[in-house]
Amino acid sequence: MKKIVVIGIIGIVLGMSLSPCIGTTGTEQILNNINQCTRFSPWESLVSYGFQPVIHSFLQFISPGINFPLPGEVYRVGDIVEINGTTSLPEFDQYTLSWGVGVAPLEWFTDGITLIENGTEEIINGTLGFWDTSVVTEAEYYTIQLTIYRISSESVVMNVSIYLDPTLHPNFPFGWPQEIQGSQVAIWSPIALSDLTSDGNPEIGFGTVTVVSAGDNNYDYVLGHDGTVLSGWPIHMSGIQGAALTFSNVDASTNTDEVIGGMWGNSLYVWHGDGTLVTGWPKPIAAARSSTAVIDLDRDGDLEIIVPSTDGGGKIYAFHHNATMVAGWPVTIGSPLRSAVATADMDQDGYPEIICGDQDGYVHALHHDGTVVSGWPQLAHDFIKSSPVIADLEGDGELEVIVCSGFTQQRIVSAWHHDGTLVAGWPVENGLAFAQPSVADLDDDGDLEILCGGAIPNTPIGRFYVWHHDGTVVAGWTITFTWDGSQDLDYIYAQPVVGDIDGDADVEIIVGSYYNKLYAWHWDATTVTGWPKIIGDAVDSTAAIADIDQDSFVEVIVAGDDGKIYIWDLPGVYNASCMEWPQFQYDSHHTGCYHSETSTNQWPSAPTISGPSKGKIKIETEYNFSALDPNNDGLYYFIDWGDSMNSSWIGPYASGEVVGQSHTWSKKGTYVIQAKTKDAHGLESEWGFLDISMPFSSEIPFLVWWKQLLNRFFYGFPLIRILYEQLGLLNV
């Protein structure tokens, strides 16, 4: 079903604050400049698209032009785009709408265009018409032209250029100003994913930020893969929601994830999947400015929530799932903490450590009880706003810490051993403050590479770096972006995600930039075909790679500073084992540790499924499921019975345990039973399969008559009765 983009009242309200020239885009340079004020940082400027307070005169308000769509807006090919604006001017006669390919078309077309009242109506800030974009097929900029004719035969022409993409997922982009209304909204938060509804399809979590007037449109959202907002959401928040939501089953007595959020406000919240508060929450925490992490800190079987903050000069909090404080916490750092933590068992004592960076440029390591790890803290540089990550860089079984630091001075990426000593070859200069590193084995050689955005120091020229574990640059990298002299800078601050998106078993790197683009490169630095993808504004958000609709193919999800969520359907078959760094801070718990809690954590096996290959409809049939986890973690099973029914996530069960589950099919046919597992850290296996058929019914009328006859004359037909019992056609 086509998505009809409805502007409604918001088009009129926001049209009042539009400059009269907003619909006159005619060149790519103008298109590039529409978002210039968000190019540097959302913290530096809170106005974009030319919106200003409502101080324009009424004459400006009714100036002719196109209010919506906005210049540079992105739509899915096949969407019906509403065109909103004003045609009123002296001696009005009629108006027309047309479209052309590119930002300066040479030809104009009216295919798919529908005018209101055939263009004879003089309209003030209302719907002018609709464009059914199914008449085009290519990903490209397209320009919509409004021509207003006067009785004197003079005409006024106004253009607006938008971008159409056929690879966008149905019902996306989702966001401002259609689905998310109010003052202009941005989405800075990384994409969070979790199957909150236990239907096998991950939901999408994010927070919104009002960038025009503070406080009136800050919400936490949870969406389904089809663009529907989950019941109970969104939740209105007092502070801007710039940090990632965290999805985690913090309470081991339940089988579903909770949602942790509220960052940048004055409280930490934990909600059930339906948006209701978990008992004991929220907890007041002043000035929490970053995403939370979740880990079993005290190894009691329940997960704890780790919260860095700027509170009290910089504190780290640790809460049990029931909102009580963990013994030994909070810990006062003495300098504000503005980035997420990373967590892993650094010293291999069975308990995780917490790694964080502070505003003074120090990296801290704390034991599970809040005491300082020997050899720490270590000075990186003068400011840390990027989140640390943890990985076994050298393949020796020991974990290292990687951090990007620096602001007023040199910008560098550093790496330390678990004991606080520097890794040989580090630090290296990346030239860009606040960039978020990640790690992955790009070339499948067993050694990890470090990935991070950068710049030529003290210039507007952006770069993207990939280093070997020893700090040397990988062959074919670094990528240097050209600069056109405008204020639009191709800087990359977001954390790169890594996974196989095209099904070739090699991994690709996906990361957004401040130049309205989401890039994808192969491991050898060549650009993936069909990329970069165009976004309506800069990208602060970290993307995610997943199969969100369980169609077995890859989707990539990201948010833009235009206040929209984007999802692209890709041709690659989704393979969980080929996802090297699939989301912000690696996993849904935001541990920041490559392969989760330790570098040895591995994916569970696909389940083996055993049971009868044939059965009877309307009679319950039992099947056995079994899988192994290399780390001996407990396993959850998700079973798809092939008839639109599923088990949701069940468990946990011991690794290797045979799990019996029964199902009843109502119609004859051939079915495929599918099952997958996930471990305690959220790593999901590939699917296991079993083909079955249901050829026989237990309620065939002829057999019902025979059953009644044989039941009445039990000894009258002994041979026939034995035959039917052997065939399973008779149950007495």
Contact 283, 319 (CB under 8 A): yes
Q: Is the peptide bond before 377 cis (omega within 30 degrees of 0)?
A: yes
Q: Is 151 exposed, middle or buried (0-12, 13-18, 19+ CB in 10 A)?
A: exposed
pLDDT of residue 696: 63
Q: What is the pLDDT of residues 288-315, one digit of tens each?
A: 668 899 999 988 878 899 999 888 788 9
Regions of the chain where pLDDT drops below 70: 1-61, 182, 212-216, 252, 263, 265, 287-289, 408-409, 487, 596-601, 681-682, 696-732
pLDDT of residue 681: 64
pLDDT of residue 599: 40
Write the CA distances from 309 to 267, 318, 422, integer angstroms: 11, 11, 27
pLDDT of residue 717: 57
Q: What is the pTM of this model?
A: 0.78
List, in order of start, the domains of the chain with CATH numbers: 65-165 (2.60.40.10), 185-578 (2.140.10.10), 608-697 (2.60.40.10), 706-731 (no CATH)
Contact 637, 625 (CB under 8 A): yes
DSSP string, 23-83: T---SHHHHHHTTGGGSS-TTT----TT---S---HHHHT-SEEEESPTT-EEETT-EEEE
pLDDT of residue 694: 87
Helices then strands (H, E): number in the chain?
5, 51
pLDDT of residue 325: 96
Q: Residue 525: left if φ>0, alpha if ψ -120 to 50, beta else—which one? A: left
Q: What is the pLDDT of residues 116-138, one digit of tens each?
A: 999 999 999 999 999 999 999 99
> How many CB atoms sit inside 10 A of residue 164's CB?
25
